[in-house]
């Protein structure tokens, strides 16, 4: 990812509920495409293609604990050319995503979840994602991986 922006958001409530809210936000946002999801590991990766800026990759991990922490990282698709305002747009995208998760959690803007199996995408094919500790091998023609706790 280029121009990454990582944010930790502590939330009240169980980790599974926070993950369902994040998954619901991804599934109900028009320009977000789910690339990988592991429900038991509470991890997901999504691809965003905004109209006027470079494409972005969103990575979400929900950590169990007191409080539950939603870790969200967003960065630009490295296949696109760098733009001067990438970092600013990524911070704004991160803020909007986390606000949508909080709104889904408190019920002010519900984000219903469609059941989905653990998988990741390789080209146009869904491949089962069995081990959440092992990064999925998403085939998009670049390395999107970042160290993520």
Supply the DSSP symbol for 124.
Answer: T
Planar angle of CA 57, 45, 30, nearest 5 degrees: 70
Distance CA 112, CA 10 (A): 21
Phi, psi of 126, deg, nearest 5: -85, 130
Asked if 123 contacts 35 with a C-beta cutoff of 8 angstroms, the reply is no
* Amino acid 149: pLDDT: 37
Question: What structural domains does the chain harbor?
Answer: 2-128 (3.30.530.20)
Asked if 74 contacts 88 with a C-beta cutoff of 8 angstroms, the reply is no
Q: Using one digit for the tens of pLDDT, what is the confidence trace for 68-102? A: 999 999 998 877 778 888 889 999 999 999 999 99
Examine the pLDDT at 14 and tell me if it is beyond 50. yes
Helix (H, G, I), strand (E, B) or coil at 12: coil
* Amino acid 146: pLDDT: 45
Phi, psi of 4, deg, nearest 5: -70, 150
């Amino acid at each position: 990812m280029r121009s990454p922006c990582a944010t930790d958001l502590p939330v009240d409530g169980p980790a599974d509920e926070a993950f369902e809210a994040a998954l619901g936000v991804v599934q109900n946002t028009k320009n977000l495409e789910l690339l990988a999801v592991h429900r038991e590991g509470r991890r997901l990766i999504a691809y965003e293609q905004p109209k006027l800026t470079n494409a972005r990759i969103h990575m979400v991990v929900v950590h169990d604990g007191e409080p539950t922490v939603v870790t969200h990282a967003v960065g630009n698709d490295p296949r696109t050319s760098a733009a001067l305002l990438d970092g600013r747009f990524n911070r704004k995208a991160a803020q909007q995503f986390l606000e949508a998760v909080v709104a889904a959690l408190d019920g002010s803007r519900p984000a219903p979840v469609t059941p989905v199996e653990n998988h990741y995408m390789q080209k146009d094919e869904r491949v089962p994602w069995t081990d959440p500790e092992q990064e999925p091998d998403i085939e998009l023609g670049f390395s999107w991986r970042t160290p993520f706790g």
